[in-house]
């Protein structure tokens, strides 16, 4: 990982869009700061596309798509994308894959097993807003759990046939062969007519994130960026971002936005 400051202005000036994780990437300690929101506004106003790619639930993403300065949002680690048409005043939602008919009962059973087996964890407080996955909280609204407990949650989800990914606050599990990257590629093609299979096109996008569930994106985008707190998970990243900000969380996102905007002015 090289310092973001070393990313050339020539490369930065060619960037047309930012794909960004939300928790501890755009937000800081669970809060969306004024500076981070202003960075979103400035990118959007400059004509740089902004698309959050998050593990957060459908209920949150509905709000984000409608009210944030973004072009679309991918939620629940790739279960769907949402795009709001301001002129038509209509929200378009596209779900990826077909969940099993008994998904909800299976999720409830798996959740009960995990909660009984891993002391200190809890259902994520946003679980009621979810349509596709199970989120188990290991440090957002509970006291931080040790790594062994987080690994135990992952193992129980996988044993039940779920895909499991660790974010900075939750372990997310779901039924289906998708993730942040696969849905990003499909959404770009279907929604915007952009083929990320084209290496030249891929280099015009930046992804910024902070945790293991961002690994597919880090590995795919040559100009991927980690906010400084990605180092907290350094030993759990199968692929690392090419660049790293000097600041953590939302301040790191602001740092990236400033670098892109400055290249536009040069």
Query: Is the distance from CB of 53 to CB of 120 less than 8 angstroms?
Result: no
In the chain, how many H helices and how many E strands?
Answer: 9, 13
Question: Are 46 and 71 within 8 A, CB to CB?
Answer: no
**Residue 37: is it exposed, middle or buried by C-beta count within 10 angstroms (0-12/13-18/19+)?**
middle
DSSP 8-state code for residue 31: B
Copy the structure tokens of residue 228: 């400084």
Count CB atoms within 10 A of the CB of residue 113.
Answer: 14
pLDDT confidence of residue 103: 83
Strand pairing of 80-85 and 73-75?
A: antiparallel
Distance of alpha carbon 152 from alpha carbon 118, whole angstroms: 7
pLDDT digits (tens, 9 = 90+) for 135-181: 999 999 999 999 999 999 999 999 999 999 999 999 999 999 999 99
Per domain, the residue ranges of the chain are 2-97+178-265, 103-174
Q: What is the mean pLDDT of residues 229-245?
A: 94
Quickly state the pLDDT bin for 102 (edges 50, 70, 90). confident
Backbone φ, ψ for residue 228 (5° rounding)? -55, -30
Q: Which two tokens stand for residue 135?
A: 């989120």
pLDDT of 266 reads 64
| pLDDT for 264 | 86
Pull the structure tokens for residue 161: 């046939």
Q: What is the dihedral of CA 140, 146, 152, 157, to 10 degrees?
A: 20
Which one, of 252, 264, 266, 263, lies nearest residue 4 by Cα?
Answer: 252
Tens digits of residue pLDDT in 211-230: 999 999 999 999 999 999 99
Angle at 20 between CA 103 and CA 186, to 5 degrees: 55
CATH label, 2-97+178-265, candidates 3.40.50.1000, 3.20.20.140, 3.40.50.150, 3.30.70.20: 3.40.50.1000
Secondary structure letter of residue 176 according to DSSP? S
Specify the DSSP class assigned to residue 57. -
**DSSP letter, residue 169:** S
How far apart (Å, rounded) are the C-alpha atoms in residues 185 and 169? 25
Q: What is the mean pLDDT of the chain?
A: 95
- Portion of the chain with pLDDT greater than 70, in percent: 98
When pLDDT is cut at 50, 70 and 90, the band that residue 49 belongs to is very high
Q: How far is the C-alpha of 148 from the C-alpha of 38, rounded, in Å?
A: 38
- Domain covering 103-174, topology: Hypothetical Protein Ta0175; Chain: A, domain 2 (3.90.1070)
- Phi–psi pair at 65, nearest 5 degrees: -60, -35
């Amino acid at each position: 990982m090289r310092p973001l400051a070393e990313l050339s202005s020539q490369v930065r000036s060619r960037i047309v869009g930012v794909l960004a994780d939300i928790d501890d990437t755009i937000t800081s300690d669970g809060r969306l700061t004024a500076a981070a929101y202003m960075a979103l506004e400035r990118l959007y106003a400059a004509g740089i596309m902004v698309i959050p790619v998050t593990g957060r639930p459908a209920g949150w993403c509905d709000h984000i798509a409608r009210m944030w300065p973004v072009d679309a949002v991918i939620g629940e680690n790739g279960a769907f994308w949402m795009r709001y048409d301001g002129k038509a005043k209509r929200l378009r939602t596209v779900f990826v894959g077909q969940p099993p008919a008994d998904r909800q009962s299976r999720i409830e059973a798996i959740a009960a097993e995990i909660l009984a087996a891993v002391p200190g964890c809890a259902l994520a407080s946003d679980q009621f807003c979810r349509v596709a996955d199970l989120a188990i909280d290991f440090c957002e609204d509970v006291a931080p759990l040790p790594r062994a407990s987080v690994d135990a949650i992952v193992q129980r989800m996988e044993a039940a046939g779920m895909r499991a990914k660790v974010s900075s606050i939750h372990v997310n599990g779901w039924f289906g062969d998708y993730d942040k990257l696969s849905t990003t590629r499909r959404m770009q093609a279907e929604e915007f007519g952009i083929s990320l299979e084209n290496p030249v096109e891929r280099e015009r996008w930046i992804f910024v994130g902070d945790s293991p569930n961002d690994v597919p994106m880090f590995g795919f985008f040559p100009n991927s960026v980690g906010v400084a707190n990605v180092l907290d998970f350094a030993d759990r990243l199968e692929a690392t971002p090419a660049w790293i900000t000097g600041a953590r969380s939302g301040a790191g996102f602001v740092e990236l936005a400033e670098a892109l905007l400055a290249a536009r002015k040069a």
